[in-house]
Amino acid sequence: MMDSLQYKKLQNDHVSNLNGTTRFETILQVAPIPFSTLLSLLAVPLLVSVRCGSRTAYFVKFSAEFCVLVLPITLTLTVFNDALHLVIIFLMLLVSLATYTHTRNCHRTDYLNYLQELWVSKISCKSVPFVTMFRAITNLVTVLCILAVDFTIFPRKFAKTEYFGYSVMDVGVGLFCISNAIVSPEVRHANNMTYNSSKYILKSVISCLPLFVLGVARFFTLTNIEYQVHVTEYGVHWNFFLTLAFVKIFSSVIIYLIGFEYLWLLSVLVSFFHQCFLNAGVQDLVLSHNNIRSSFLTANCEGLASLAGYLAIYFAGMYIGGIIRDTGSLFCDYVYLTLKLALGIVIMWESTILAEYYFGVSRRLANTGYVIWVLCVSLIFFEMFLFCSLAVHSIKMYTTKMTRQFEINYVPMLYDAVNFNGLACFLFANILTGVVNLCFYTLTFSKFSGIIMVILYMGTVCLSIATLYWKKIKLKFW
């Protein structure tokens, strides 16, 4: 029988000295997501079209969206990873079938008029659909990975790398920064002088207090219950909540002093000087095996040394958010944006190759290579969800009012629910992950038991967040 000390050593070995995978394989893991999203938008209305009570309709819709949106990515990141191509093909066939079902009664012959109307038509949605989808999937995949990584069903190549390399979990923190940056108050209210005043800095600090509280509470809680923490992620006392809090505060102060119009330059300069700082000796300290962590600085060198890198990512995310904010809501505007993003992806992909050659790509350092790689992955996500928005709108326009049987939304309900309580979703998942790890020796689970546990965990998180959304309860008190 394994005791707690032996198991802690097994846990530490399980997440140590990992080298990740390739750039292409990392991107390939998210390939099912746009097809799952499209299938949800097109197929779920067919399932919930029956006349039933509101509560029943909500549960049926949630169940269908969970099966279409969450299960595929859960399976492809775990037990079905070797059959990823088959999952993608299966989803594509289902999307084609759903598309045919919606358009089979349409017998259009005026294709030229349809294309002309489509080109100048407005995509009517209360929010920018592809931004909502990006933020929701970032949260959901992060929630999935933080527990799945504790089971043997999660491939080691997708776990966080120890020094340099690419992995699915490595980009999670960077994408979270982008997700917050694109909808930050500075982006949403760039032309409002109230948000450019010194009073706003105080407001920004106050808004980050919950993150500080969560960061400090997490440290003391994990210390008191002797929870296993891999210190090379952020350090002894540091964690993601503290990183995000400081990044948001620093960004507000710097923007107040310099201005919103220089965001792209700020991102480049911060990343450049950060890399110089790392090359001057900080990198050797952070990656050293001989770091005895005798002071607060050395104990938390990973978290402190990576702050500037995440700040550069945050500035870049705000710049992307500004571009999205200034993009119109017409179909043609979205097409032009896809072309811009495609060019950006090519540039970032090639820049990542160069950065890997000169600096390496390190999540632990958040160096220039990592900053560029996170931006590349973010643009790929945006491109995928822009494609979803354009495809859905094209189908909505193709079906006339006479032939349209079911209303097609631009964003799945589950994505809206996750965004409605984003931080609460992430926090609840962290708590649930801790409970599971305290109650079970997850590394001893069989493949079948492991995948059942992960699915139940994802179902619990998603159903809880969806219930709050149905009842319009927003867990935000600041």
SS3 85: helix
Separation CA 68–CA 43 (nearest Å) = 9
Handedness of CA 183, 170, 450, 230 (dihedral sign): negative
Phi/psi for 165 (5° steps) reads 135, -175
Separation CA 462–CA 467 (nearest Å) = 8
Phi-psi group of 286: left, alpha or beta (phi > 0 → left; psi -120 to 50 → alpha; rest → beta): alpha
Separation CA 87–CA 76 (nearest Å) = 8
CB 434 within 8 Å of CB 217: no
Separation CA 328–CA 322 (nearest Å) = 12
Task: Kindly list the distances between the CA atom of residue 362 and the CA atoms of 119, 233, 264, 274, in Å, as whole numbers in the listed order.
Answer: 42, 11, 22, 13
Going by C-beta distance under 8 Å and a sequence separation of 6 or more, which residues neighbour residue 14?
A: 150, 443
| Interhelix angle 301-325/263-277, nearest 10 degrees | 160
Q: Which two tokens stand for residue 296?
A: 């607060």
Q: Which two tokens stand for residue 77?
A: 């990141």
| Burial status of residue 6 (CB atoms within 10 A of its CB: 0-12, 13-18, 19 or more) | exposed
Q: What is the pLDDT of residues 85-138, one digit of tens each?
A: 999 999 999 999 999 888 887 777 778 888 898 999 999 888 899 999 999 999
Kindly report the pTM of this predicted structure: 0.93
pLDDT of residue 194: 53
pLDDT of residue 404: 55
Read off the amino acid at residue 144.
L
Phi/psi for 414 (5° steps) reads -65, -35
Separation CA 369–CA 353 (nearest Å) = 8
pLDDT of residue 16: 74
pLDDT (tens place) for every residue of the chain, 478 residues total: 566 777 777 777 777 778 889 999 999 999 999 999 999 999 888 877 544 556 677 888 899 999 999 999 999 999 999 999 999 999 999 999 999 888 887 777 778 888 898 999 999 888 899 999 999 999 999 999 999 999 999 999 998 998 899 999 999 889 999 999 999 888 877 666 455 566 777 777 888 888 888 888 888 888 777 677 777 888 888 988 999 999 999 998 888 888 778 889 999 999 999 999 999 989 998 988 777 777 888 888 889 999 999 999 999 999 999 999 889 889 999 999 999 999 999 999 999 999 999 999 999 999 999 999 999 999 999 999 999 999 999 998 887 654 555 678 899 999 999 999 998 999 999 999 989 988 888 888 999 999 999 999 999 999 999 999 998 988 865 5
| Interhelix angle 413-420/54-65, nearest 10 degrees | 90
DSSP letter for each residue of 177-227: HHHHHTT-HHHHTTT-GGGGSHHHHHHHHHHHHHHHHHHHHHHHHHHHTT-
CB 58 within 8 Å of CB 106: no
Separation CA 173–CA 222 (nearest Å) = 20
| Domain boundaries defined on the chain | 160-398
Task: Kindly list the distances between the CA atom of residue 85 and the CA atoms of 23, 29, 78, 93, 247, in Å, as whole numbers in the listed order.
Answer: 17, 10, 14, 12, 38
CB 156 within 8 Å of CB 18: yes
User: Within 10 A of 129 (CB to CB), how many other CB atoms are there?
Assistant: 25
Q: What is the DSSP letter of 262?
A: G
pLDDT of residue 317: 96
DSSP letter for each residue of 448-469: HHHHHHHHHHHHHHHHHHHHHH
| Burial status of residue 196 (CB atoms within 10 A of its CB: 0-12, 13-18, 19 or more) | middle
The C-alpha R_g of the chain, in whole angstroms, comes to 23
pLDDT of residue 348: 97
SS3 29: coil
* Cα angle value 419/74/475 (rounded, 5°): 25
